[in-house]
């Protein structure tokens, strides 16, 4: 196990040589044909989280991150920060992440594709680009994530409009010189398991405009009435089948599971299965970022926190202690 909270060499090196991939330890699940790109790994997986146990605003504050790191005795590789569209980016602890050797991941809310494509948002998007540029270190941007989600219908005119909006925003970032920003295209994993009106693949902006491909997926049982208990393989398998054919590094940008009061330690077992699946069946995944918070929707409470029980925390910690999920070393 690494020295407690020791500084990382990787992030500093990436700041100086952004196009380089990380030096990693050997692994039995090494994938020689892994796609490369900014922040990519030749094997293994980053281990991260959104940390917001009390559902306060903002998420993943330095205090919350420090507390979770203390619980698991290691540094998180990636920390996810959630922003609404009108919030200034880079203000939720990203500076502290960089100083502490972590990679900030910014999930930025969206506005309508029409307003982006008509140019009315250009100045604002450019200002946001400058804020991330000024961080002076690699930062992952989950721009306009889950475009195929039903809740996006009021602001996504069409898949073509979404692609145009993505490309316009990326061009504005490039023009502003925000070359430290890593662009991550994210859909839900669920949309690959159903038959949506428009397939999630239709929203893909194109290989020249995307650095990483990611998905968000959850096991909603037993918190959601009628939901079936699904393991990690079931949730992400169909997304992985598509994404693994693409020439981009892959990430599970959000994942979550709840306790099952009827079956003690079931959440812990879910984490164990996830660990085995990623390391053996899905070796192209280069990052896993937990959704560690509590959501309430339609009267249902979803406790996704990784420390919802001692057994769950122990299993999640065991995954983080696995050298496969600590590929960059101390």
| pLDDT value of residue 330 | 64
Is 81:59 a contact under the CB 8 Å cutoff? yes
Q: What is the pLDDT of residue 230?
A: 98
Can you tell me the distance from the alpha carbon of 29 to that of 129, in angstroms, rounded to the nearest whole number? Answer: 37
Lookup: tokens for 322 = 């696995």
Place of tokens 């100083």: 99
Q: Report the alpha-carbon distance of residue 67 to residue 111 in Å, rounded.
A: 33
Residue 181 neighbours by CB under 8 Å, 6+ apart: 129, 132, 133, 139, 140, 141, 173
Range 10-23+32-325: architecture per CATH? Alpha-Beta Barrel (3.20)
**Burial code of 49-77, b = ≥16 C-beta within 10 A, e = fewer?**
bbbbbeeeeebbbbebbbebbeebebbbb
Instruction: List beta partners, residue 78.
Output: 48, 103
HSE value, Cβ hemisphere, 13 Å, CA-based, for 141: 30
Domain ranges of the chain: 10-23+32-325
DSSP sequence for 147-201: TTSGGGTTT---HHHHHHHHHHHHHHHHHTT-TTEEEEEEEESGGGTS--SS-GG
| 167-186 burial: b if 16+ Cβ within 10 Å, else e | ebbbebbeebebebbbbbbb
Give CA–CA dist 208/175, Å, rounded.
Answer: 16
Q: Is the peptide bond before 241 cis (omega within 30 degrees of 0)?
A: no
pLDDT value of residue 54: 84
Blockwise average pLDDT, block size 10, the chain, 330 residues: 37 39 38 85 97 90 97 98 97 97 98 98 98 98 96 96 98 98 98 90 98 98 96 98 98 98 97 98 98 92 97 98 88
User: Which residues pair with residue 256 across a beta bridge?
Assistant: 218
Residue 257 CA, distance from chain mean position:
16
pTM over 0.85: yes
Tokens, residue 173:
């970032």
């Amino acid at each position: 196990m690494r020295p407690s909270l020791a500084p990382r060499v990787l992030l500093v090196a990436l700041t100086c040589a952004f196009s380089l991939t990380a030096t990693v330890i050997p692994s039995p699940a090494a994938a020689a044909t892994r796609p490369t790109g900014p922040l990519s790994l030749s094997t293994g997986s980053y281990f991260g989280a959104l940390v917001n146990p009390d559902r306060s605003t903002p998420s993943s504050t330095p205090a919350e991150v420090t507390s979770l790191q203390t619980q698991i005795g290691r540094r998180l590789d990636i920390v996810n920060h959630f922003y609404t569209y009108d919030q200034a980016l880079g203000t939720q602890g990203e500076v502290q992440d960089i100083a502490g050797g972590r990679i900030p991941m910014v999930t930025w809310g969206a506005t309508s594709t029409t307003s982006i494509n008509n140019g009315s948002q250009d100045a604002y998007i450019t200002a946001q680009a400058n804020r991330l540029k000024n961080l002076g270190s690699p930062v992952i941007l989950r721009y306009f994530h889950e475009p195929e989600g039903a809740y996006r219908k009021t602001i996504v005119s069409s898949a073509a409009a979404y692609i145009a909006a993505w490309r316009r925003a990326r061009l504005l970032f490039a023009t502003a010189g925000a070359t430290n920003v890593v662009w991550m295209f994210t859909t839900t994993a669920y949309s690959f398991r159903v038959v949506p009106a428009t397939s999630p693949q239709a929203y893909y902006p194109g290989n020249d405009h995307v650095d990483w491909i990611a998905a968000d997926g959850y096991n909603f049982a037993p918190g959601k009435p009628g939901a079936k208990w699904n393991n990690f393989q079931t949730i992400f398998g169909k997304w992985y089948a598509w994404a693994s054919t693409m020439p981009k590094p892959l990430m599970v940008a959000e994942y979550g599971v709840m306790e099952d009061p009827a079956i003690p330690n079931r959440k812990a077992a879910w984490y164990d299965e996830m660990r085995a699946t990623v390391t053996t069946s899905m070796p192209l995944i280069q990052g896993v970022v937990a959704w560690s918070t509590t959501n309430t929707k339609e009267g249902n409470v979803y406790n996704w926190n990784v420390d919802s029980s001692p057994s769950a925390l122990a299993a999640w910690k065991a995954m983080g202690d696995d050298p496969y999920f600590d590929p960059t070393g101390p």
